[in-house]
């Protein structure tokens, strides 16, 4: 990891450092556009072809049903079941609390406006399964979808080498009451859920993280079909702000936790203490020696860096420009700086709060905007699975109160039919 001094960086240096996931030659876009076109035209046949090409599996069927999932899930041990149950319960509690009825508002006497929630009917959940299979992501998407009350939940995950999903994915499907999992990964799965195939239903909105192929496919189908997406949730990233009180072993562990996701992950350390920064880098090297996924993490760390700042204000200023998916404040006085956070997907406060807690089980959602999209997007929540429909009702008093203003406003825009829709009611004595 290269180290920079914040005070030596120009504006151009900073914009280069905060930029990620660029596809300058449009190689990923071109490939993904081809995949989408092939799925759109050939449906299931294309999914079989891509499972063979990208996942190296010759499938005979594109999904697993309840009986097959039950058989596969039997391999989950009692201890693993308990851990999944604790995660389920905490995620459920945190997300359930997000549903609150809103008040009706009388904006003028006789004019009442309000909003009501309605679940999105057909949703598609993408559960990554390339470099690591992520049953935790299934909980993070399936629980809010269930709480919202979505009537059809389509789940796609890449087939493993045996042409199935692993036992944890199967177990979580059953926990969520989902009786079918489709064996499709990457951009082809996104295309299948956006266009529909003989086997897979077209959905209204696609959710879930994934690698650059998945994320690119989501951003393309968002503008070319009527299927919406949650957000661009691409390769994982973390930015740790550390001061002189941070523990190098903890900070190094957090940097490695995101680096091990994939070679395109990014882990950034922004540190107010040169000596803590150096000690953290030494710790990273030490911990890498015993990490099974060290090769992946090393490659991710090659795209990562350390910035030494003079104070926490500079550190926060850089973090806000980077807009990290995960922000960890490994600082003594984190309470004094949280209000300076402008852009971040999810925040972890103090030395005892590892990002892994949020990845798995504290309750918050781990499907979060990456690649600086945290500037404008929030992570997945129950809100992501519902529409908020506005309603209004006018009484006789209401139409008389609001009518004259609407007549003038319609006149200002030269829209006489609009004016008339109010006038006929006001004057109907
Ligand atoms: N932002 C978030 O909220 C969040 C949450 C969890 C995971 N993640 C990220 O999700 C990603 C998961 O990636 P993954 O690769 O492990 O699994 P994945 O399921 O996203 O991708 C695997 C699929 O990619 C396709 N693929 C692989 N190589 C390809 C190629 N050369 N051309 C076309 N398609 C190809 C294959 O079809 C394969 O099934 C990681 O980067 C992880 O960091 C992000
Ligand atoms: N850190 C990932 C989000 O970027 C989520 C995850 C799943 N499993 C472990 N981690
Ligand atoms: Zn993670």
User: Do 80 and 156 have their domain in common?
Assistant: yes
Which of 33, 55, 62, 128 is the pocket-test mutation for ligand 1 (most atoms within 8 Å of CB)? 128
User: Do 160 and 300 have their domain in common?
Assistant: no
Which of 199, 231, 263 is at the close of a domain?
Answer: 231
User: Do 7 and 128 have their domain in common?
Assistant: no
| Tens of each residue's pLDDT in the chain, 429 residues | 999 999 999 999 999 999 986 787 888 999 999 999 999 999 999 999 999 999 999 999 999 999 999 999 999 999 999 999 999 999 999 999 999 889 999 999 999 999 999 999 999 999 999 889 999 999 999 999 999 999 999 999 999 999 999 999 999 999 999 999 999 999 999 999 999 999 999 999 999 999 999 999 999 999 999 999 999 888 999 999 999 999 999 999 999 999 999 999 999 999 999 999 999 999 999 999 999 999 999 999 999 999 999 999 999 999 999 999 999 999 999 999 999 999 999 999 999 999 999 999 999 999 999 999 999 999 999 999 999 999 999 999 999 999 999 999 999 999 999 999 999 999 997
pTM for the full predicted model: 0.95
Q: Residue of the nearest CA to atom 4 in ligand 2?
A: 236
Say whether 416 is catalytic.
no
User: Do 12 and 42 have their domain in common?
Assistant: no
Q: Residue of the nearest CA to atom 10 in ligand 1?
A: 210
**Token duo for residue 50:** 């891509």
pLDDT of residue 26: 86
**Residue of 260, 326, 355, 366 marked active site:** 326
Say whether 326 is catalytic.
yes
User: Do 45 and 169 have their domain in common?
Assistant: yes
Query: How far is ligand 1, taken at its centre, from the CA of residue 161, in Å?
Result: 16
User: Do 127 and 159 have their domain in common?
Assistant: yes
Query: How far is ligand 2, taken at its centre, from the CA of residue 356, in Å?
Result: 8
pLDDT of residue 25: 82
Report whether 232 contacts 219 (CB < 8 A): yes
pLDDT of residue 113: 98
Q: Is 107 a domain residue? A: no
Concatenating the DSSP letter of every residue in 344-361 gives -SEEEESTT--HHHHHHT
Q: Residue of the nearest CA to atom 4 in ligand 1?
A: 209
Q: Is 354 a domain residue? A: yes
Indicate which atom in ligand 1 lies nearest the CA of residue 157: 19
Total tally of structural domains belonging to the chain: 3
Indicate which atom in ligand 2 lies nearest the CA of residue 258: 1
Q: Residue of the nearest CA to atom 31 in ligand 1?
A: 54
User: Do 352 and 266 have their domain in common?
Assistant: yes
Query: What gap in Å lies between CA 325 and CA 340, rounded to an integer?
Result: 16
CA distances from 268 to 204, 239, 278, 311 (A): 36, 5, 14, 17
pLDDT of residue 22: 73
Q: Is 375 a domain residue? A: no
Which of 231, 255, 274 is at the close of a domain?
Answer: 231
pLDDT of residue 20: 84
CATH code at position 338? 3.40.50.1980
**Residue of 260, 283, 325, 355 marked active site:** 325
Which of 21, 131, 134 is the pocket-test mutation for ligand 2 (most atoms within 8 Å of CB)? 134
User: Do 35 and 149 have their domain in common?
Assistant: yes
Q: Is 105 a domain residue? A: no
157 is in an annotated binding site: no
User: Do 87 and 72 have their domain in common?
Assistant: yes
User: Do 258 and 326 have their domain in common?
Assistant: yes
Q: Is 113 a domain residue? A: no
SS3 content of the chain, % helix, strand, coil (to 5): 50, 15, 35
Q: Is 293 a domain residue? A: yes
The candidate with the shortest Cα–Cα distance to 377, out of 213, 222, 176, is 222
Sheet harboring 105-108: ordered strands across?
105-108, 111-119, 386-394
366 is in an annotated binding site: no
User: Do 356 and 415 have their domain in common?
Assistant: no
Pocket of ligand 1 contains residue 267 by CB under 6 Å: no
Q: Is 378 a domain residue? A: no
> Which range of residues forms the domain containing residue 407?
395-426
User: Do 178 and 211 have their domain in common?
Assistant: yes
CA distances from 345 to 3, 326, 392 (A): 24, 6, 34
Query: How far is ligand 3, taken at its centre, from the CA of residue 261, in Å?
Result: 6
């Amino acid at each position: 990891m290269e180290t920079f001094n914040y005070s030596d960086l120009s504006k151009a240096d900073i914009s280069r450092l905060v930029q990620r996931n660029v596809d300058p030659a449009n190689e990923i876009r071109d490939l993904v556009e081809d995949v989408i076109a092939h799925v759109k035209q050939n449906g299931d046949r294309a999914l079989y072809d891509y499972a063979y090409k990208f996942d190296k599996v010759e499938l005979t069927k594109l999904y697993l049903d309840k009986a097959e999932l039950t058989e596969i899930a039997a391999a989950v041990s009692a201890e693993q079941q308990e851990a999944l149950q604790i995660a389920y319960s905490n995620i459920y509690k945190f997300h359930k609390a997000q549903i609150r009825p809103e008040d009706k508002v009388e904006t003028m006497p006789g004019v009442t406006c309000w909003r009501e929630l309605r679940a999105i009917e057909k949703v598609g959940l993408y559960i990554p399964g390339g470099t690591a299979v992520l049953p935790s992501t299934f909980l993070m998407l399936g629980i809010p979808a269930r709480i919202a009350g979505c009537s059809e939940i389509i789940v796609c995950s890449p087939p493993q080498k045996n042409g199935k999903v692993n036992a944890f994915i199967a177990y979580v499907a059953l926990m969520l009451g989902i009786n079918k999992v489709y064996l499709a990964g990457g951009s082809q799965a996104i295309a299948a859920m956006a266009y529909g195939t003989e086997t897979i239903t077209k959905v209204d909105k696609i959710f879930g993280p994934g690698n650059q192929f998945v994320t690119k496919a989501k951003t393309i189908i968002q503008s070319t079909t009527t299927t919406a997406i949650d957000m661009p949730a691409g390769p994982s990233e973390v930015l740790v702000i550390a001061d002189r009180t941070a523990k190098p072993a903890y900070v190094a562990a957090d940097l490695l936790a995101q680096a091990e996701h994939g070679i395109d992950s990014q882990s950034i350390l922004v540190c107010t203490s040169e000596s803590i920064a150096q000690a953290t880098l030494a710790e990273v090297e030490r911990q890498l020696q015993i990490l099974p996924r060290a090769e992946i993490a090393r490659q991710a760390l090659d795209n990562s860096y350390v910035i030494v700042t003079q104070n926490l204000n500079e550190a926060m200023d850089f973090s806000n420009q980077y807009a990290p998916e995960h922000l960890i404040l490994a600082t003594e006085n984190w309470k004094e700086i949280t209000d300076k956070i402008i852009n971040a997907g999810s925040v972890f406060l103090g030395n005892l709060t590892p990002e892994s807690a949020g990845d798995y089980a504290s309750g918050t959602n781990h499907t979060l905007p990456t690649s600086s999209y945290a500037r404008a997007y929030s992570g997945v929540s129950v809100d992501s699975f519902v529409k908020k429909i506005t309603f209004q009702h006018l009484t006789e008093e209401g139409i008389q109160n609001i009518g004259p203003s609407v007549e003038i406003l319609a006149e200002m825009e030269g829209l006489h039919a609009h004016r008339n829709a109010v006038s006929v009611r006001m004057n109907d004595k």
